[in-house]
Structure 1
Amino acid sequence: MKKIMFNDKLGLTQAVLEGRKTMTRRICKYDRPDESWDIVFPVFGSKDYDNEGNLVSPLFGAFGWKNKDGDFTGWNNPLYKFGEVVAIAQSYRDSGYSPDSLDRHPKDLSVRGLMKNSAGWNNKMFVKSYACKHHIKITNIKMERLQDISEEDCLKEGIIKGKCGSESTHFMDAYYVPKEKQPYCTPRDAFAALIDKVSSKGTWESNPFVFAYEFVLVD
């Protein structure tokens, strides 16, 4: 099973667990070689659908680039697949493990010692997916430019709608990055600030192609 990481500093993991964040955007692994290359998508046949008519091909959501000579870059595949259940990465501490329990899982007999002394006690990068206690299920995948995000999707990404101002100046709608107090006028402004904090400054301005994953919390 794969695992997925959300930013803890900005409260995004907690937002997922509380059902306030139901989408995530991940930058595609490579961009268009240059503007002369055309975007291409897979062509699906009957074998790519299940008996209920659902598209189940591993190329669901994939795309690539092809130039006028027919040269092809290969498929830019989404990391997570439609219908896939993915573990939410959390440290052993945040997952509620006992600090004095054995730092090992029945499937990982090579690890010894107490949980509180393990690398995964505070760092979720060292926690195996089978030891994660919460999961999401991917319910939709789409490809788009980062700046094509809708205001509705900004809220699904965890942006918080609130108010700013005072009784004397009148309250106005405002939008916030989780765990921060800076108000923004629109959900897109807030998301632009969020993505630059999560993926590095300048990400919003560079406007890369992204896979947008929609999901539901399973447990």
Structure 2
Amino acid sequence: MTDRPILFSAPMIRALLDGRKTQTRRDLTKTFARYPQLEGYETNGTLKPVDGRKVPCVEFVHSPLGLWDPETNPGGRSGWYVPLKAAVGDRLWARETWRPVGSLHPWDLEIIYDANGEHRTIKDGEFGDEDWNMPKAAERGNVPSLFMPRWASRLTLTVTDVRVERLQDISEQDCVAEGIEWVTRTSSGNFYRNFDAPDLPIMAYGAYRSLWNHINGTGAWESNPFVVAYTFTVQRGNIDAMSKEAA
């Protein structure tokens, strides 16, 4: 089992908290955006066995440039890379936008999460020898999700399934599991938030398409990249605090 951070936007954090989100998809091809030499080459999305763990990757067929992760492919003879490296059984701690409110005690710290305004108090010494200097943290403003430290995380995901597929192959059921926001139900079925036309709710597949483009930019859905689809369970709690409780 491996622990890794994973970024989520505020709407997706709220979906996790509400119990609406049990899947996430990540574009496997973004890693190669800075390599124009690979443009136009056929790609295969697949899972590779690495140290007994099946991890997601993209393989470039007959590419002129061999790209590799030395950790997972030390020979460097294949044109594939593993961006996230998570496998079934791994734990992911969610990174989100947050900010310190202030010191409640010389070494304690109160923080607030941007997604829903929830407050949390971190006690001095709560995370052992990890020295993260609370007084200095209390002087900072909003902290982007990318820079959330592990001790500030409040959501822990345990990976139960990993698949590699084309983005547009997602099912209606999986679109719902991605956390799209329900709006109304009619005789035709359930309708969800439509980022392309907010006043016109749409069914699950179209709603997820609009969400993907909203997060990743115009045309991201149409490019139909290989993605890794993670299914997970969600627990509210800091990953290290949970480990201490289980010990």
TM-score calculated relative to the size of structure 2 = 0.65
Select 1:199's aligned residue among 213, 216, 220: 216
Q: Matches of residues 40-55 of structure 1 in structure 2 within 5 Å?
A: 41=46
- Determine if the alignment matches structure 1 residue 66 to structure 2 residue 72: no
Rounded Cα–Cα distance in structure 2 between residues aligned with 1:157 and 1:42: 21
* Alignment map for 1:96-175 (pairs within 5 Å): 96-98=119-121, 106-109=128-131, 111-113=133-135, 115-119=137-141, 121-163=142-184, 173-175=190-192
Segments of 5+ residues of structure 1 without an aligned counterpart are: 49-55
Say whether the 8 Å CA contact 2:94–2:155 is kept in structure 1.
yes
SS of the aligned residue for 1:138 comes to strand
CA contact (8 A) 1:162 1:176 kept: yes
1:182 corresponds, among 186, 199, 203, to 199
**Superposed displacement of residue 74, structure 1:** 2.8
How many residues end up aligned between the 2 structures?
A: 199
Give the 3-state SS of the residue equivalent to 2:13 in structure 1.
helix
Deviations 1:41-72 (A, max 9, x none): 5676xxx7xxxxxxx72443334233299x86
8 Å CA contact 1:174–1:183 kept in 2: the answer is: no
Q: Cα offset for 1:6? A: 1.3
Cα distance 1:88–1:34, how it changes in 2: closer, same or farther (>3 A)?
closer
Q: Is the CA contact 2:45–2:165 (under 8 Å) kept in the aligned structure 1?
A: no
Match of 1:39 in 2: 44
Equivalent position to 2:112, from 93, 118, 139 = 93
Q: CA deviation at 1:2?
A: 2.1
How far off is 1:144 after superposition? 1.1
Cα displacement string for residues 83-141 of structure 1 (whole angstroms, at most 9, x for unaligned residues):
11111123241162349x77x9654425352654235x543333211331220111111
C-alpha contact (below 8 Å) 1:105/1:131 kept by paired residues: no
Q: What displacement does 1:159 show?
A: 1.5
Letter in 2 for 1:127: M
Q: Percent identity?
A: 23
Residue 94 of structure 2 aligns to which amino acid in structure 1?
I
Q: When the two structures are superposed, what TM-score results if normalisation uses the length of structure 1?
A: 0.72
Gaps of 5+ in 2: 67-76, 99-110, 237-247
Task: Please report how far the alpha carbon of residue 172 of structure 1 lies from its aligned counterpart in structure 2 after TM superposition.
Answer: 6.4
CA 1:89/1:12 → structure 2, altered by over 3 Å: closer, same or farther? same
Q: CA RMSD in A?
A: 3.6
2:135 alignment partner, SS class: coil
